[in-house]
Structure 1
């Protein structure tokens, strides 16, 4: 089983692209609505499930007033917890926790996030894929959000905008680099 996370930083759009993201995820068999309970599941402050209609969840996320923690569903018994946060610097951050997933499930979530990053009109700043949890998600904020120079331990894959990639490569020149569309680069341990 996997233990780790995917952290997705993207520019904040004038309108939410959450519905479009859900459509992309659905193509990978990752559903917003619980297969049995028939509604989206949001976690309250105590970690209890709260069922909400998909439209209401989209509206809450579109308000951008508070973090929202919710679940995506691979099956009725297998979920991915997603913490959705808006930063004051105009960036949306999603942290999808891979804890408890089998490697093939974690790869499916990764593929869905990468596909959504490519498909959505909102530019992506970074996608950090750390299946083993070698870094902490918050460790990536300084270099991604605040022009920091310190580079956390590089996990399985880092997809970042070119200027961020250059900083990481200066600190870790041994990484393999691959150019991607939209000015992004994938960095991986060589």
Structure 2
């Protein structure tokens, strides 16, 4: 079973909104620049740290030519790994891994992603919040990107725009939906009291 994660599917914009995302994340205490090293940290294919100027990282992400794995920082020794990928269907996917974080830190990451998804001008298709890792992140690609009918095990919470939100509510009566802002619906399983 995988670790907990948040997977954010967002339309590709004509210009990158990475700088705006970094600013919004910073307001939640998640910095792009490592507090002691003074640079953004990108992970190479072997998992080693590569220091990079934040503007250069933003430029590379804006080129949309390759997937990039990077870190967001709570402190010099507490990070969130973010895998940033592009799909040929014009969608950006970020998977933020929650392993090793406290409940409060995971709450902060969730709040930052939800705030970005509802505040940034680029439309979000879906945000999968699977704190326990009950499904693989890639299992959500079919329903989110390709209108696939088969759904993975439902996570803790999911934000989605129509038609995906409507399709999920129709096919899963155990879900409840609430308006989340920016045209999205927050879906979660009913919990028995």
TM class by shorter chain equals over 0.9
Could you say which residue in structure 1 is the equivalent of 2:131?
131
Deviation at 1:91, TM superposition (A): 0.3
- After TM superposition, which residue ranges in structure 1, 4 or more long, deviate above 4 angstroms? none
2 CA distance for matches of 1:74 and 1:189?
30
TM-score, structure 2 as length reference: 0.95
Gaps of 5+ in 1: none
What residue is the counterpart of 1:109 in the other structure? 109
2:155 paired with 1:155: yes
1:118 partner SS: helix
C-alpha separation between the residues in 1 aligned to 2:147 and 2:189?
22
User: How far apart are residue 62 of structure 1 and its match?
Assistant: 0.6
- 1:80-108 deviation digits (Å, cap 9, x = unpaired): 00000010000000000001001000000
Q: Which runs of 5+ in 2 are unaligned?
A: none
Q: 1:180 offset after TM fit, Å?
A: 2.4
Residue 99 of structure 1 corresponds to which residue in structure 2? 99
Q: How many residues align?
A: 188
The equivalent residue for 2:164 is: 164
How well do the aligned residues superpose, as a CA RMSD in angstroms? 0.8
Q: How does 1:39-188 map to 2 (within 5 A)?
A: 39-188=39-188
